Structure 1
Amino acid sequence: MDRRFAVIDLETTGHSPSKGDKIIEVGLVIIENDEITDEFSTLLHPGKDISPFITKLTGISNDDVKKAPRFQDKADEIAALLQNSYIIAHNVPFDLGFINEEFAFAGLKKLQNPVLDTVELSRILCPKAPGFKLGQLAEFMNLDHHDPHRALSDAFVTAKLFLTLKQKLYTLPYETVTQLLQLSKQLKSDLEELLYDCQQAFGMSIEPEAGMDSFRGMAFRAIEIPKKKHFDIATAFGNYLDDIFEEDGSMQKLMTRYEKRDGQREMSETIYDAFQSNNHALIEAETGTGKSLAYLIPAVYEAVRTNKRIVISTYTIQLQAQLMEEEIPLIRKLLPFSFDVALLKGKQHYISLEKFERSLANMQSDNYDITLTKSMILVWLTETDTGDIDEIQLPSSGYYFYRGISSDSEGFADPNSPWFSRSYYQKARKKAQQADILITNHALLSTDMFNEYQFLPSYNKAIIDEAHHLEETASKHYGLKLDYVSIQYMLSHIGATDEDGWLNTTLVKYRFTAEYFPFETWNDIFQKAKHEADDMFRMIFQYVIEQKQRDRSLSDIGRIQYRFQTDEAYSSKWNVILEMVSRFIFYVRDLIHMLSQLDYHASEMDVFDRHEKINLQESIESLQSIIDRMEELFLMEDEQDPQVKWIEIEAKGAKNAVYLYSEPTDMSEILADEFFSQKKSLILTSATLTMKNSFTFVQNRLGLMPEDTVAVKIESPFSYENQVQLMIPNDFPDVRQGNQDDFIYSTCEAILSLADITQGRMLVLFTSYDMLRKSYWLLKDMMNAEDYMVIAQGISSGSRSRLKKNFQSFDQSILLGTSSFWEGVDIPGEDLSCLMIVRLPFQPPNHPIYEAKSQRFKNNGKNAFFELALPNAVIRFKQGFGRLIRSAGDRGIVFVCDARIVKSRYGRFFTQSIPSVPVTYDSTEKLMDKAEKWF
């Protein structure tokens, strides 16, 4: 049916009409018969000053609106254009809120038109989009966007976006449209009539189109897994390297800006040799080596030659995506033979169609985020080949819903189930079993390692990229964790017999009586268990607060961390906690007993279907897992397997926001026994494995025997001597003498001075969130708002990649980061000209894991600082240093505010562990002069 749509965009003085913000520009576009038929645009005088930030964002200044009309002068004309139309905007509540506020002020009725929000529509119909801002969507859909943040231009782009989305809607399968129609009443957009029109367009033909499958009212993309082919390789490995890397080789022909890198070939040959001799290898490949390509070539060659898969494990999802989307396609062009590649993640990443189908039948308790999540998933299922939830960005609380519909919640796989052949996880496993190269992550690699190798298909050779994270990841997976939310989530999932959990649903469905299930006893003990858990975690929370008050030095990383021992007797309160733990375990055992009795009666009567059996078995296992973890954390101490146990609390969070952890104090023997002795050849590579060119530290941490391990350092092809200046000021206050505020002030002065020289383009790395926050607000006070865009992790909204993109999109910007920004952030070229490292990245000495490991070193007569703290800090420093130079054409300054790098006896470990660069240690004023001249 033909409908009229009015697409509106506003530029305003701020975000809140209720606080006096006003419209400064209106852009309107009319759509009829799927064509843009009219437009309207006007500047408006807001009756107040436009801030420099808004002027910078929109280009609209106070002079531009000096002679412009007021809104009330144009109100009737705008109202007439909006009449009898759907109102469309990119974030409708924002634009409609401003328009209605102005209409009320002008004496007009507030708009009651049906609305369509293109943010919401984009999330539903383009769930794979990298982001949902107008500019991001325009780029994703190849829509021209000539003048961002000007009302008419934005309105035109929003109109084109809507027409593209409407077109996409009509390509969806009948089942998907029908399911969306059922969900649409809880969405912000008035979508019912559009979806009904779309549904009617199918007429009598509702057969699934080619490439689509449908089952039980859901449509999803059909996936075929090709059978594995085997190729014989006769050519020697060196010949392939000659064909690829030498002058006029295939690499040069494929890549227009290819630069020959000797280190790349050296790395490939080292890996090939290690595979042939069945040795392990440690390879530090500095920035610019091109290590992904260097290890993929010998891995593919070896896998195809021997017909035995090789595993490649990464730490980050980003690197997995890079391998699959960039490196593997390039390798396919470089090598003259075919090979199969698969990506396998943990079960929690893959959606369960069975669980999702059940959730669609139950919408009574859905909030908006869950409705939006379901709508997004319905469309995504028509596009995805993997069922991997990482492909889309769910709304925040959508991830809690997703936990209940992931393959991890399916329980034991039943090959006889009609869902088994449609399971994304089972398809991923099958593909992995047929692959020559299997790409996974350190988390699943570790889970597999500590569960008798039952999660990954068998392998004997592997490449571990980002290997400096292997010990930490393995330690987490060998250890255990437990928190209040997880316990309550599990209990709520089961529920009392008068609640919405699966137990009540099942008992009602099969009409169980008190003869077969003790309803009153269950409810009594169930409520006692929930209350005991709540009281117990509140008591633990309070206990940690009291310890923090006694010991101000307790580690604080946004959460307060407190290390404990099971036999500690610091106060009677701890004994009360232990009593509560015992009581809670007692209640949970009773719950398990009653569920086991239910299982017995159900089996005798043969009444439960597969879904109920899985729920029952899973619930028993989950409750037993809670008991096991509580006992290990609080009631047991194994002297043969020393563990560090600690509590983390969110001091400003809920009074039961408590997290419990346990990890080994030493992973070396565990990894040696469980991993390195079990595999023929493991290649560990990273840009940061050495300290002062020595691999000793990482070998000791991982339990690698030097006689079985090849250790090679591949130098960077970059000319660091000419590309980087390392500068250290000699006049900063000493933060260790209690001058933190003075130190922060000096840091902020240096940031602004360097920013003037580099026109922003600065990344500032902190080791403390507290120092970052104080610096951010001080910078805001010290500078004019229009000088620089300051973006701060934890303060500015958005993920790490979103903050990075925002930083790159502004001409003069300063990015403040901590923790995750020390590595894995690539900002090549002129976008980044200065890297500031505020403090050397030592772990807090009171961090529970560091504390326990330090004690172990001391007990063995070793120096914990030189054996543990310093190597960790040096490797972290190298990661931070590596953010600056990402290509042969980059130039920049590394400014280290911490004079310990020069003054301390251990400072040379930092400077001698990075590439050789010119170092200047001088007054801040002289450093600024030198920086200006150098640039």
Structure 2
Amino acid sequence: MQYSRADNRQYPKTDEEKTTLFKATDETLIPRAGQFVMMDTVMTSWEKEENALIEAGTGIGKTLGYSLPAIYFAKKHQIPIVISTYTNLLQSQIFHKDIPLLSALTDFEIQAVVLKGREHYINLFKFEQLLSEVDKTYDVVLTKMQILVWLTETTTGDIDEVNLSGGGQLFWNRMKHTGWFLSPQKDPWLVHDFYLFNQRQAKAADLIIVNHALLLQDHFGGGKWLPDYEYAVIDEAHHFTDAARAQQSFIFSYRRMKFFINRLGTLGKEAMLQRLELMFPEHHQLFDIEIAIIKLEEALENLFLLLAQKLLKANKNATELILVENVIDEKLDAALFFAGEKVLLLMREVSTTLNHVLEYGKKEADKFSEGESVFLEEVYSFLIDWKRAENQLSRMLYEKEEAMMLYIEADKNKALSSVRLRADIVQVNHTLQKDFFDTKKSVVLTSATLTVDDSFAYIRAELGLDATIETRQIKSPFDYGENARILIPSDMLPVKGTPIEEYTGKLAAYLSAIAKETSGRMLVLFTAHDMLQKTYRKMNQDASIAEYRILAQGVSSGSPARLTKQFLAFDKAILLGTMSFWEGVDIPGDDLSCLVIVRLPFAPLEDPYTKAQIALRKKMGLNAFQTYSLPEAVLRFKQGFGRLIRRETDRGIVFVFDNRTDTTNFGKAFLNSIPEVPIVKGTEQKLLEEVKKFFE
């Protein structure tokens, strides 16, 4: 394996050497003691071949804190280091912003690559053939045009660069990369293949930048997407267990199965099966597939009708219903199990027979035109997706080894097309320890939110890491005592016991009064959509703030990113958001001066996943509140608090309307887990005067 050239330059061990390195560049880098501590902790962990947990407070310069030792270590030992993030946004930021800075700092010739799963890349052979198909559907025509333009500009072939419509995303299934069924040499676009190009880049890279999903898929998904590596950085590590659970959790939906069946079609319908008959007219097994498909449609209707009826019987307003809290201890009821098993057997019959047809086609490959070859590749890609759904249903019916929960989901109308059977893995710590951490020499995990009340115990247990792991908590360098205040109203109605209309009326009036003092520039974080919507309607009717632009998630149109852009575009704006706004929103400077936390962010007890976690801990003899509900809420609270002060010069106030931070023992854990900030408690009048004084 060939890596990029090494260099004799040594890692700067002292603070003086690091400061000299910073000053040698044109970048306006500020030497920070905390960042230097992080660099040395990362380097020492790799040299000792030990894992480490590092909480790096906002403003430390976390990315440079791990990437500088990473490049020195990679160059010295001629090995790749994997950097994994939770979001694609951070992946892109590291590659386009931090790698050039790293190169300028070190004067190294850095080979870095952003790597994603194979299905993110386009198969040019498939796309070329699809261009010749006449399909006047708007989404298909638009997607073809989008991709043609994009192909003149892209250097990666990664579809995330294109904003596809819903129909475009379905059409993408026909051209996504799934490897080759026939010989790759039959692909005339092989030398231009983006996936292979990125794989070659990765094999010669110093730094391989991936997301958690791909990293975990490489370990648990049965594929091999990454080159061999023994050292890694897990950034946004507070999401690593979520990503691991998501990797091993899945949904079996009516809509997706109908989509599969329609793509396959029947011999009398213009679809995949009919085209296979034209290619293999003598292949009688195609009739077996058609019969199995007809039976499968009926079996699917039966299964999903049973699921819908169960949901309706449980509660007219319910959109979720737990069927099995833990598959180790419980079983699906007999009617559902047998209905599911019938669907599974028919799916297996289709996949087995389709596989025989494809293998027959492989033997005849030399006789096919390019169009026929690419069609077989498309059938192969379809079969991979079909078998994945088949395997997932099989695990739902027969899994007994792992703690897994099964439940039904549907929309409010409970339409059959919206019904989904969902399986969520409840515990991943043992799997992560055995199948990931124990297979690596050293993994460094970092985030701004890893501790609860200055303890790493919760996140360490969730990740399956040993109690002896190296931990380092590096506080933010920002002056929160000067630049921030926490205000806790003493005259706000309690959430518990107060009718929601009365509570949101008081809350809306309070928020309007604050907005007038702060000129808007306010982000209000809720934990429930219902309360958000009622508060929004009342604020919208308040004539005293008619000049303010009020934006609300789930009410105003647009994604969180679009709502954030709209918020930035107006001088006087108020943004109401739920869970997706508690983290990942970056509004630096004067655009955000006031953060409001309406309720402490405990997960709702009726949430199926929360129920399963609580039940599991009770079964283990643990206090579910102390070992799950509280630490999860504290970490989310820390994320929410972190939205306010993003830069050294930022200033702002945080209103916490949930007085449990002040009136309960557990409330102290929330305030003890954030930087030290002056806290003011009082009536509305007192707090509004404090706001005015703070901004004068």
Kindly state the Cα deviation for residue 751 of structure 1 after the two structures are TM-superposed. Answer: 1.2
Q: Report which stretch shifted further, 287-296 or 485-494.
A: 485-494
Aligned to 1:695: 456
Q: Contact (CA 8 Å) 2:289, 2:354: kept in 1 or not? A: no
Once residues 881 and 566 of structure 1 are traced to their aligned partners in structure 2, the CA distance between those partners, rounded to angstroms, is: 34
Aligned to 1:626: 389
> 1:874-903 deviations in whole A, cap 9, x for unaligned?
000000000000111111110011111111
Once residues 570 and 181 of structure 2 are traced to their aligned partners in structure 1, the CA distance between those partners, rounded to angstroms, is: 48
Aligned to 2:398: 636
Once residues 448 and 691 of structure 1 are traced to their aligned partners in structure 2, the CA distance between those partners, rounded to angstroms, is: 31
The answer to whether residue 445 in structure 2 is matched with residue 673 in structure 1 is: no
Q: Please tell me the residue identity of whatever aligns with 1:693.
A: D
Aligned to 1:229: 4
Match of 1:589 among 327, 345, 348: 348
Once residues 864 and 569 of structure 1 are traced to their aligned partners in structure 2, the CA distance between those partners, rounded to angstroms, is: 19
> 1:569-603 deviations in whole A, cap 9, x for unaligned?
999x9544333223322332332354345346546
Correspondence list, 1:288-303, <5 A: 288-303=59-74
Would the alpha carbon gap of residues 412 and 867 (structure 1) be closer, same or farther in structure 2, given more than 3 Å must change? farther
Aligned to 1:512: 281
Aligned to 1:927: 687
Q: Please tell me the residue identity of whatever aligns with 1:916.
A: E
Once residues 423 and 905 of structure 1 are traced to their aligned partners in structure 2, the CA distance between those partners, rounded to angstroms, is: 59
Q: Classify the secondary structure of the residue corresponding to 2:541.
A: helix
Please provide the CA RMSD for this pair: 2.6
Once residues 404 and 265 of structure 2 are traced to their aligned partners in structure 1, the CA distance between those partners, rounded to angstroms, is: 34
Would the alpha carbon gap of residues 631 and 566 (structure 1) be closer, same or farther in structure 2, given more than 3 Å must change? farther
Aligned to 2:308: 541
Q: Please tell me the residue identity of whatever aligns with 1:369.
A: D
Match of 1:371 among 141, 147, 152: 141
Once residues 361 and 182 of structure 2 are traced to their aligned partners in structure 1, the CA distance between those partners, rounded to angstroms, is: 18
Aligned to 1:848: 608
Q: Report which stretch shifted further, 856-865 or 575-584.
A: 575-584
Would the alpha carbon gap of residues 412 and 339 (structure 1) be closer, same or farther in structure 2, given more than 3 Å must change? farther
Aligned to 1:430: 200
Q: Please tell me the residue identity of whatever aligns with 1:527.
A: I
Aligned to 2:444: 683
Q: Contact (CA 8 Å) 2:80, 2:205: kept in 1 or not? A: yes
Once residues 338 and 266 of structure 1 are traced to their aligned partners in structure 2, the CA distance between those partners, rounded to angstroms, is: 25
Q: Classify the secondary structure of the residue corresponding to 2:10.
A: coil
Aligned to 1:456: 226
Aligned to 1:255: 27
Would the alpha carbon gap of residues 542 and 435 (structure 1) be closer, same or farther in structure 2, given more than 3 Å must change? same
Aligned to 1:705: 466
Q: Contact (CA 8 Å) 1:689, 1:875: kept in 2 or not? A: yes
Q: Classify the secondary structure of the residue corresponding to 2:217.
A: helix
Q: Please tell me the residue identity of whatever aligns with 1:718.
A: F
Aligned to 2:512: 752
Q: Please tell me the residue identity of whatever aligns with 2:12.
A: F
Once residues 400 and 836 of structure 1 are traced to their aligned partners in structure 2, the CA distance between those partners, rounded to angstroms, is: 39
Aligned to 1:879: 639
Q: Please tell me the residue identity of whatever aligns with 1:250.
A: F
Q: Classify the secondary structure of the residue corresponding to 2:184.
A: coil
Q: Contact (CA 8 Å) 1:343, 1:438: kept in 2 or not? A: yes
Match of 1:467 among 237, 241, 244: 237
Q: Contact (CA 8 Å) 1:646, 1:660: kept in 2 or not? A: yes
Q: Classify the secondary structure of the residue corresponding to 1:407.
A: coil
Would the alpha carbon gap of residues 415 and 598 (structure 1) be closer, same or farther in structure 2, given more than 3 Å must change? closer
Kindly state the Cα deviation for residue 518 of structure 1 after the two structures are TM-superposed. Answer: 5.3
Once residues 530 and 24 of structure 2 are traced to their aligned partners in structure 1, the CA distance between those partners, rounded to angstroms, is: 49
The answer to whether residue 310 in structure 2 is matched with residue 310 in structure 1 is: no
Once residues 584 and 354 of structure 2 are traced to their aligned partners in structure 1, the CA distance between those partners, rounded to angstroms, is: 47
> 1:301-344 deviations in whole A, cap 9, x for unaligned?
11111100000000011111111111111111111221200000
The answer to whether residue 662 in structure 2 is matched with residue 895 in structure 1 is: no
> 1:540-583 deviations in whole A, cap 9, x for unaligned?
1232232234xx7x6xxxx5353435989999x95443332233
Match of 1:716 among 456, 472, 476: 476
Kindly state the Cα deviation for residue 537 of structure 1 after the two structures are TM-superposed. Answer: 2.1
Correspondence list, 1:514-593, <5 A: 516-517=283-284, 522-549=289-316, 560-564=320-324, 575-593=334-352
Q: Contact (CA 8 Å) 1:281, 1:684: kept in 2 or not? A: yes
Once residues 568 and 281 of structure 1 are traced to their aligned partners in structure 2, the CA distance between those partners, rounded to angstroms, is: 33
Aligned to 1:278: 49
> 1:167-212 deviations in whole A, cap 9, x for unaligned?
xxxxxxxxxxxxxxxxxxxxxxxxxxxxxxxxxxxxxxxxxxxxxx
Once residues 600 and 304 of structure 1 are traced to their aligned partners in structure 2, the CA distance between those partners, rounded to angstroms, is: 46
Q: Contact (CA 8 Å) 1:566, 1:637: kept in 2 or not? A: no
Q: Contact (CA 8 Å) 1:562, 1:646: kept in 2 or not? A: yes
**Percent identical residues:** 34
Q: Please tell me the residue identity of whatever aligns with 1:307.
A: Q
Q: Classify the secondary structure of the residue corresponding to 2:436.
A: helix
Q: Please tell me the residue identity of whatever aligns with 1:677.
A: D
Match of 2:676 among 896, 899, 916: 916
Q: Contact (CA 8 Å) 1:541, 1:657: kept in 2 or not? A: no
TM-score using structure 2 length: 0.94
Aligned to 2:267: 497
> 1:227-250 deviations in whole A, cap 9, x for unaligned?
8531232434326x644435xx53
Once residues 627 and 425 of structure 2 are traced to their aligned partners in structure 1, the CA distance between those partners, rounded to angstroms, is: 17
Q: Contact (CA 8 Å) 2:328, 2:403: kept in 1 or not? A: no
Once residues 279 and 695 of structure 1 are traced to their aligned partners in structure 2, the CA distance between those partners, rounded to angstroms, is: 17
Would the alpha carbon gap of residues 453 and 520 (structure 1) be closer, same or farther in structure 2, given more than 3 Å must change? closer
Q: Contact (CA 8 Å) 1:560, 1:651: kept in 2 or not? A: no
Kindly state the Cα deviation for residue 653 of structure 1 after the two structures are TM-superposed. Answer: 6.1
Kindly state the Cα deviation for residue 626 of structure 1 after the two structures are TM-superposed. Answer: 3.2
Aligned to 2:412: 651
Would the alpha carbon gap of residues 269 and 453 (structure 1) be closer, same or farther in structure 2, given more than 3 Å must change? farther
Q: Report which stretch shifted further, 770-779 or 750-759.
A: 770-779
Kindly state the Cα deviation for residue 840 of structure 1 after the two structures are TM-superposed. Answer: 0.4
Aligned to 1:354: 125
Once residues 439 and 453 of structure 2 are traced to their aligned partners in structure 1, the CA distance between those partners, rounded to angstroms, is: 31
Aligned to 1:140: none
Once residues 491 and 620 of structure 1 are traced to their aligned partners in structure 2, the CA distance between those partners, rounded to angstroms, is: 12
Q: Tell me, which stretches of 5 or more residues in structure 2 are unaligned?
A: none
Q: Report which stretch shifted further, 666-675 or 521-530.
A: 521-530
Kindly state the Cα deviation for residue 397 of structure 1 after the two structures are TM-superposed. Answer: 2.3
Correspondence list, 1:322-333, <5 A: 322-333=93-104
Q: Contact (CA 8 Å) 1:538, 1:656: kept in 2 or not? A: no
Would the alpha carbon gap of residues 596 and 284 (structure 1) be closer, same or farther in structure 2, given more than 3 Å must change? closer
Once residues 252 and 260 of structure 1 are traced to their aligned partners in structure 2, the CA distance between those partners, rounded to angstroms, is: 12
Q: Please tell me the residue identity of whatever aligns with 2:112.
A: V
Correspondence list, 1:480-495, <5 A: 480-495=250-265
Match of 1:767 among 527, 549, 554: 527
**RCO greater where, 1 or 2, for CA within 8 Å and sep 6 or more?**
2
Would the alpha carbon gap of residues 381 and 734 (structure 1) be closer, same or farther in structure 2, given more than 3 Å must change? same
Once residues 250 and 661 of structure 1 are traced to their aligned partners in structure 2, the CA distance between those partners, rounded to angstroms, is: 51
Aligned to 1:740: 500
Would the alpha carbon gap of residues 917 and 599 (structure 1) be closer, same or farther in structure 2, given more than 3 Å must change? closer
Aligned to 1:93: none
Q: Tell me, which stretches of 5 or more residues in structure 1 are unaligned?
A: 1-226
**Structure of larger gyration radius:** 1
Would the alpha carbon gap of residues 697 and 564 (structure 1) be closer, same or farther in structure 2, given more than 3 Å must change? same
Once residues 565 and 152 of structure 2 are traced to their aligned partners in structure 1, the CA distance between those partners, rounded to angstroms, is: 29
Q: Please tell me the residue identity of whatever aligns with 2:552.
A: A
